Chain A
Amino acid sequence: MDLQFLDAKASFEERAAVDALPEGAARDQLLPALHAVNDRVGWISQGALNYICEKLHVPPADAYGVASFYSLFSLTERPERVVHVCTDLACRVNGADTVCDTLTEHVGPAGKARGGVTWLRSPCLGVCEKAPAALAFEAGDPPGTELLAPATGADVVLAARRSPSAEDGAAPVLHQTDRESLRLLRRVGAVDPESLDDYRATGGYAALRNALELGPNGVIREVTDAGLMGRGGAAFPTGRKWEGAARQPALPHYLVCNADESEPGTFKDRVLLEGDPFALVEAMTIAGFATGATLGFLYLRGEYPRARRLVQNAIDVARERGFLGVDIMGHTGFSFDIEIRRGAGAYICGEETAIFNSIEGFRGEPRSKPPFPTEQGLFGKPTVVNNVETLVNVPLILTAGYAAYREIGTEKSAGPKLFCLSGNVRKPGVYEVPFGTTLRELLALAGGVPEGRELRAVLLGGAAGGFVRPDELDLPLTMEDARAAGTTLGSGVVLALDDQADLGGFLLRIASFFRDESCGQCVPCRIGTVRQEEAVSRIVGGRKLSTDADDLALLREVGQVMRDSSICGLGQTAWNAIESAVERLGALSVEES
């Protein structure tokens, strides 16, 4: 490839950041390279991009297209310190606007550099249980991060004026004190997440030992018989997915753990990553063994610095002690390793095929299916993509056996399930319950709505999910009951809104979110999400178009076509929550506006 470069040179620091990449790095190191420069300098200059492109043999226009896709990168000069203030669903309900107002008053408007800092409004930071939240980054060697949650306006102003205190967040706190009832969360907060010995002392690596005895086919059979379904939202049978990849003749096979938890209101995977990282490492190793993958990628969202530190530690320690690498646990011929790839602020990269493009160093645009990932996935090879919660169920199955696992939950929805409770509840947090627990019971665990308030609605499943009314709280939380009730458990979001919540503003934020996070590849989503936001904004603001368009009819028609004709799940679900607010809560009616 004959590349042509603009006449701009990289600084010493920029070169040093890129030179720290592995020897012989190729295109798939583009995202790590962009991170390296952005982390060290705070933004990516023409010279730095040139240097990256020379090193990785990537055309500069192409690399520019990739860099400009991600919201955590800046391609124009900005201060070393950047503070992201979450203004998404749970934070919005808990006072994010006040935080933003205080910052505007004391630091200046969002996006404007002043006094060595820039603050920005951010989509969900994934710490909804401690809303409102802010995350500060400071470029340097090493770079600094500081998570503020819950944050007051004054806290964030203070954080904007000093270097990050290197606090990447506190350990997750569980409200469920009866630990005997917990399976997925039993180690969270109870063991040292940095200690492999703690992990082994609490049953860690017994599952991998069993797996090695059972053999790959045996493992797949156990997982299939256990009835494990994906916990990322699509609820696909995990055993079938593994089998599909395992029997593909093309080599190598890859495993991707989807830890790009970006659905607003979702933070369960973060709690697992931070609280029990070795369990994920063990689970990925088992998945690699079963599906014939020798390399697994953990695609982790860029907004989770604490999770990254802890999982990287777990990987390194596991490798040192023979639980990763060559001849794992003395099992000759079984090799497997894990690489972390850090996302850079793009919700769409959680889509299973967009992840592949992102890891390969391309724009995080979803691919057309078919072909499905198990046939042609990462680097065109058979690939299994599982999310964090799904994988962490696997060691449970392999220690207790599929029959014991099946006894948890219901006939069609087996096992334990994590839910993320946030919004107007007294004890927000991650809760583990068996499938089949009712929504009322789950809300009661979190203490219900604050004193003196009435529940108005529950957003179930996230921005791509749907609303449930207070008279529907006896809904058993299973995949099949949710489907029958016209909603979805999605990624496990349970966001409560009380009678004081601004439902119109909340819906407008959902519309705005989908517009911001559309990759822009296909017309129904790229333009449909814009028209949806415009129509919701008109209704909420009580404004009419001169054409006298019936905005609800317009929303329905655009929503239907986004659902029918978009390439991927983002566009296909962008109308779900708003539709359900209209149909089930009577929101956006003329009277309301």
Chain B
Amino acid sequence: MTIVEIGLPKRLVEFTVDGETVRVPEGATILDACSAVGKEIPTLCYGDTLKPANACRVCMVEVEGSRTLVPSCSRKAEPGMVVHTDSERTRTSRKVVLELLGSATDLSTTPGVAEWMAETGADPERFGPPAPPSDDRDDALPGEHEPVDGLTAATVRQPVKVDNALYVRDYGKCILCYKCVDACGDQWQNSFAISVAGRGFGARISTEFSTPLPDSACVYCGNCVEVCPTGALSFKAEHDKREDGSWDEAAQTQTTTVCTFCGVGCNLTLHVQDNEIVKVTSPHDSSVTHGNLCIKGRFGWQHVQNT
């Protein structure tokens, strides 16, 4: 039996989305309301287990009376609000935001984004050919950059960071959604191993003084990997398989079970390809884990297949 927390009774807020009257419990966001009525709004930085960072600006909607568009993931519904999710303004904004992201970042492993790009007609190429990768992004100084000629488009392309056996950081794919920082920090793990460093286009996820992970405060819970929306963080096993071309998501099965390492009872979802566990996630709606695990549950599965 699933236990559903219903909490205290809440007032209902009535407002309109694209001409349709919607009633949601007080405190619900515009995004919650849209999901409730089956209206899909693309999101990237939105995390179902995290406080909205509202940094990616993909989910912007138009609220009548507001000077600017508003992030649907964090703006709470108010009585009488008139929301448009598919106006000329929201379509242009979504298209350009996706183009900007696509022009600066490798989105090849970001689920959903290719379809949204096609739907909106986004063309990241129009900003010019990508500039060559850089190997010194970790040293970018705030408030300074080299003069540009505009003939190439600056990107966050950089070498992949492989400094431990468990997971890989490919920051050329990072859209700076803040989810890994929030999961590592005060919202879940309390390890605070990573933070956003630098600023502007030079902003990047970093350990202190960009030290390698094994020297950092990282405890390898992998909760950052769990929440990463772009594949910038991935299991070493997945990264290696992608590199050698053997990663095949379509051929994988998923089985949810209970972790056997201790008595907490965390739910594990085993992703299996060719009879081999290739990664472990945890259901976000689990009342025990909310998607989080420890190093053992997340990475401690080699013994299962060491036959």
Contacts and interface: CB of A to CB of B under 8 A. Distances in A.
A561 B94 CA distance: 9
Contacts of A531: 100, 103, 127, 153
A523 B199 contact: no
A75 B206 CA distance: 14
Contacts of B202: 520
B221 interface: no
Contact of B192 (A61, A526, A528, A560): A61
A59 B192 contact: yes
A121 B143 CA distance: 10
Nearest to A524: B57
| Dominant secondary structure of chain B at its interface with chain A | loop
A564 B200 contact: no
A567 B175 CA distance: 16
Given A346-B142, A557-B96, A61 B149 contact: no
B13 interface: no
A529 interface: yes
A49 interface: yes
Contacts of A1: 190, 192
Contact of B143 (A60, A71, A527): A71
B211 A6 contact: yes
B86 to A, nearest CB: 15
A527 B216 CA distance: 29
Contacts of A512: 145, 147
B294 interface: no
A71 B154 contact: no
Contacts of B16: none
Interface stretch (B30-38, B66-74, B270-278): B66-74
Contact of B97 (A63, A368, A561): A561
B114 interface: no
B97 A524 contact: yes
A46 B141 CA distance: 17
Contacts of A564: 60, 68-69, 89, 92-93
Contacts of B139: 76
Interface stretch (A90-98, A246-254, A535-543): A535-543
B206 A61 contact: yes
B164 to A, nearest CB: 15
Interface in B282-296: none
Contact of B196 (A49, A111, A346, A520): A520
Contacts of A549: 126-128
Interface in A502-549: 512, 515-524, 526-531, 533-538, 541, 543, 545-547, 549
A516 B200 contact: yes
Given A59-B217, A523-B175, A533 B54 contact: no
Interface residues of A, number: 69
Nearest to B68: A564
Contacts of A111: 141, 144
B233 interface: no
Contact of A46 (B149, B176, B192, B209): B209
A60 B54 CA distance: 25
Q: Which of B89, B193, B208 has the most CB of A within 10 A?
A: B208
A64 B203 CA distance: 12
Interface in B125-171: 125-129, 139, 141-145, 147-151, 153-154
A516 B195 contact: no
A523 B57 contact: yes
A4 interface: yes
Contacts of B209: 6, 46, 49, 64, 75
Contact of B200 (A345, A526, A535, A566): A526
Given A4-B217, A70-B142, A523-B56, A537 B150 contact: yes
Contacts of B103: 527, 531
Contacts of B176: 520-521, 526
A515 B208 contact: no
A516 B144 contact: yes
Given A543-B151, A545-B128, A547-B128, A61 B207 contact: yes
Given A75-B209, A515-B200, A523 B97 contact: yes
B71 A368 contact: yes
Q: In the complex, which of the residues A59, A62, A554, A565 has the most CB atoms of chain B within 10 Å of its own CB atom?
A: A565
B139 to A, nearest CB: 8
B55 interface: yes
A526 B96 CA distance: 13
A512 B128 CA distance: 18
A135 interface: no
Contact of B68 (A363, A534, A563): A563
B201 interface: yes
B228 interface: no
A518 B176 CA distance: 14
A6 B212 CA distance: 11
Contacts of B58: 523
B200 A522 contact: no
B41 interface: no
B83 interface: no
A48 to B, nearest CB: 11
Contacts of A566: 57, 68
A72 to B, nearest CB: 9
A486 interface: no
B185 interface: yes
Nearest to B53: A521
A439 B89 CA distance: 35
B42 interface: no
Contacts of A516: 142-145, 200
A537 B71 CA distance: 31
B101 interface: yes
A500 interface: no
Interface string A18-56: 000000000000000000000000000010010000000
B153 A567 contact: no
A318 B122 CA distance: 60
A4 B68 CA distance: 42
B104 interface: yes
A565 B69 contact: yes
Contact of A565 (B57, B195, B199): B57
B288 to A, nearest CB: 22
A545 B131 CA distance: 13
Given A1-B190, A61-B206, A523-B100, A71 B144 contact: yes
B203 A526 contact: yes
Contact of A558 (B100, B128, B199, B203): B100
B176 to A, nearest CB: 7
A561 B198 contact: no
A529 to B, nearest CB: 7
A60 B216 CA distance: 9
Contact of A526 (B93, B125, B201): B201
Contacts of B57: 522-524, 565-567
B77 interface: no
B217 A3 contact: yes
B244 interface: no
B232 interface: no
A558 B150 CA distance: 15
Contact of B150 (A64, A519, A535): A535
Given A61-B193, A524-B93, A524-B100, 10 more contacts: A6-B211, A6-B215, A61-B195, A61-B216, A68-B199, A520-B198, A520-B203, A561-B92, A564-B89, A565-B97
Interface of A: 1-4, 6, 46, 49, 59-65, 68-71, 75-76, 111, 120-121, 123, 345-346, 348, 363, 368, 512, 515-524, 526-531, 533-538, 541, 543, 545-547, 549, 554, 557-558, 560-561, 563-567, 572
30 contacts: A6-B208, A59-B195, A61-B192, A61-B195, A61-B208, A65-B195, A71-B141, A76-B139, A123-B143, A363-B196, A516-B200, A518-B201, A520-B200, A522-B54, A527-B101, A528-B96, A528-B100, A529-B200, A534-B127, A534-B128, A534-B150, A538-B151, A545-B150, A547-B128, A549-B128, A554-B127, A560-B96, A561-B92, A564-B92, A564-B93
A-B interface, 4 closest residue pairs, ranked by CB to CB distance from nearest: A59-B192, A520-B203, A65-B195, A71-B143
